[in-house]
Amino acid sequence: MKAALFDPYLDTLGGGERYLVGVARVLESLGFDVFLEWSDEGILEKLEQRFGVKLDRTFVLGNIKRGLGFDFCFWFSDGSVPFLLAKKNFLHFQVPFREVNGKSVKNRIKFLSIDKIIVNSLFTKRVIDEEFSVSSDVVYPPVDVDSFFNKSTKKENVIVSVGRFSQLKQAKSQDVLVKVFKDMIKRGLIKDWKLVLAGGTEVGSSAYIGELKKESLGYPIEFLESPPFDKLVETYLRSKIFWSASGFGVDENKSPDKVEHFGITLVEAMASRVFPIAFAAGGHKEIIENGKSGFLWKDERELVDLTLLVINKKLYLKREDNLVKRSKMFSYEAFSDKMKNLLSVA
Is residue 174 within 8 Å of 213, Cβ to Cβ? Answer: no
Domains 2-142+331-345 and 145-329 share a fold: yes
Report, in this order, helix, strand and coil percent for the chain, each rounded to 5: 40, 20, 40
Predicted confidence at residue 346, as pLDDT, reads 75
Predicted confidence at residue 153, as pLDDT, reads 83
Predicted confidence at residue 205, as pLDDT, reads 75
- State CA 110 to chain mean position distance: 28
Predicted confidence at residue 176, as pLDDT, reads 96
Q: First and final CA of the chain: distance in angstroms?
A: 16
73 contact partners, CB below 8 Å, separation of at least 6: 3, 4, 5, 6, 64, 66, 67, 84, 85, 86, 88, 89, 90
- At 333, which amino acid appears? E
Predicted confidence at residue 151, as pLDDT, reads 73
- What would the CATH number be for the domain defined by 145-329? 3.40.50.2000
Predicted confidence at residue 104, as pLDDT, reads 97
Q: Tell how strand 275-279 and strand 241-244 pair up.
A: parallel
Distance of alpha carbon 277 from alpha carbon 265, whole angstroms? 12
CATH of 2-142+331-345 given 3.40.50.2000, 1.20.1440.80, 3.40.50.11440, 3.40.50.300: 3.40.50.2000
- At 258, which amino acid appears? K
- At 141, which amino acid appears? P
Question: Which residues make beta-bridge pairs with 276?
Answer: 242
- State CA 321 to chain mean position distance: 23
Q: What are the residue boundaries of the structural domains of the chain, listed by start?
A: 2-142+331-345, 145-329
Is residue 216 within 8 Å of 252, Cβ to Cβ? Answer: no
Binned average pLDDT, 10 residues per bin, the chain of 346 residues = 96 88 97 97 92 94 97 97 98 95 97 98 97 98 88 90 79 92 97 94 79 95 92 95 95 91 94 97 95 96 98 94 95 96 90
Residue 46: phi, psi to the nearest 5?
A: -65, -40
Predicted confidence at residue 168, as pLDDT, reads 61
Helix locations, the chain, DSSP H? 15-29, 43-51, 105-111, 122-132, 174-186, 206-216, 229-238, 264-271, 284-287, 300-313, 315-318, 320-327, 332-345
Q: Cα torsion at 8, 9, 15, 17 (round to 10°)? A: 60
Distance of alpha carbon 135 from alpha carbon 140, whole angstroms? 16
Is residue 266 within 8 Å of 230, Cβ to Cβ? Answer: no
Is residue 144 within 8 Å of 52, Cβ to Cβ? Answer: yes
Using alpha carbons, list the distances in angstroms from residue 3 to 58, 91, 319: 9, 13, 42
Predicted confidence at residue 252, as pLDDT, reads 92
- At 63, which amino acid appears? N
